[in-house]
Amino acid sequence: MLRAAKILHLRELIQGHLHAPPSAPRAYSPSGFPPLDSLLEGGLWKGALFEFSSPAKTSGASLLMHHLLRLSSQQGQHPALIDGRDTFDPQSADRFLLTRLLWIRCQKAADALRCADLLLRDGNLPLVFLDLRGNSREELRRIPAPHWYRLQRMVEPTAVTLIALTAHSLIPCADVRLCLESRFGLESLEDDPQALLGRIHLHVVRKRPARLGLPIHSGALG
């Protein structure tokens, strides 16, 4: 009897210690794109790894990326673009963005991940895009899953937002995975980007709950 009571007490103790902590509100920064803000309950989370997946080649992912980069640069920050296959076109980018953008031109996905690692360790740049859409599926499949977990762990305690652009779901530990599905016609080549943003369709594939201990803070990007 005494033994059973001890076991019960021990069980209570263990349950008390292993009790899942209540989720804390995330620190976030408004993205300036209302559909995205509503999906993420406020804006882009700081200290989070996002995966924007776009199976279609013309899906508006670059449009959204340019918008977020421009917003960050307008706030006086230096956003970074790690270009996994050197596909960024400066001539079709906003000139103001080009004054502040750090563009890292890689040829291999492995190099791009190394660059992401360096930038996350640095922690100076609040918004980092990792564009892997140009890299082949075989190349991306060779990236061991622990590499992604390491990036996720590195970004978590910082105020950096890391957004990976992929053609297919790739990152097992992404805090948020969004899928972009949009279709544009040739007439959209002359349209205002703000108007085109409204034609982007997003849906959340996966969203991890916030963890305890993150600071409750919101504000502009960064």
Partner 1 sequence: MKYAVLWAPDFALQAVLRPEPELRLQPVALINEQGPQGRVFQATWSALQEGVLPGMPPSQAQARCPRLLFKTRSPASEDCAKAAMLECALGVSPWVEDTGAGVCSLRWEPGFGADPARLLEALAKRSLKGCLGLAPNPDLAWLAAQAAALGHGPVLCREIRESRELHPLPLKLLTPPAHLSEVLDQWGVRTIGDFVALGRDALLERLGPEISPVFERAVGRVERPLRQITTPERYEEHLDLEHAIETLEPLLFLIRRCLGQLVLRLGSAWLVAGEIHLRLGFASGGFYQRVFSVPSPTCDENVLFGMLHTHLENFRAEHPITALGLSAVPSRAPRQQFALFESALRDPHQFFETLARLHALLGEDRVGRPEPEPTRRSDCFRMRALSAAPAEHPPSAEALPGALGLSLRRFRPLVAARVQCAPQPVFVESAEVNGPVLAVQGPVVLSGDWWDRAAWSHREWDVELRDGVLCRLREEPGGWFVEGIYD
Query: Contact residues for partner 1 (CB under 8 A)?
Result: 54, 56-63, 66, 70, 73-78, 86-96, 98-106, 111, 114-115, 118-119, 121-125, 133-134, 183-186, 188-193, 196, 220, 222
3-state SS track over 26-60? CCEECCCCHHHHHHCCCCEECCEEEEEECCCCCCC
- The rounded distance, in Å, linking the Cα atoms of 57 and 95 is 24
Q: How far is residue 3 CA from its own chain's centroid?
A: 52
Q: List Cα–Cα distances, 77 to 15, 98, 201, 222, in angstroms.
A: 45, 12, 28, 8
Residue 62: closest CA among 42, 81, 43: 81
Task: Specify the residue, 180 or 210, whose C-beta has the smaller distance to partner 1.
Answer: 180
Q: How far is the CB of 91 from partner 1 (least distance, A)?
A: 5
Q: How far is the CB of 2 from partner 1 (least distance, A)?
A: 58
Task: Specify the residue, 208 or 218, whose C-beta has the smaller distance to partner 1.
Answer: 218
Q: How far is the CB of 62 from partner 1 (least distance, A)?
A: 4
Task: Specify the residue, 63 or 214, whose C-beta has the smaller distance to partner 1.
Answer: 63
Task: Specify the residue, 48 or 104, whose C-beta has the smaller distance to partner 1.
Answer: 104
Q: How far is the CB of 38 from partner 1 (least distance, A)?
A: 23
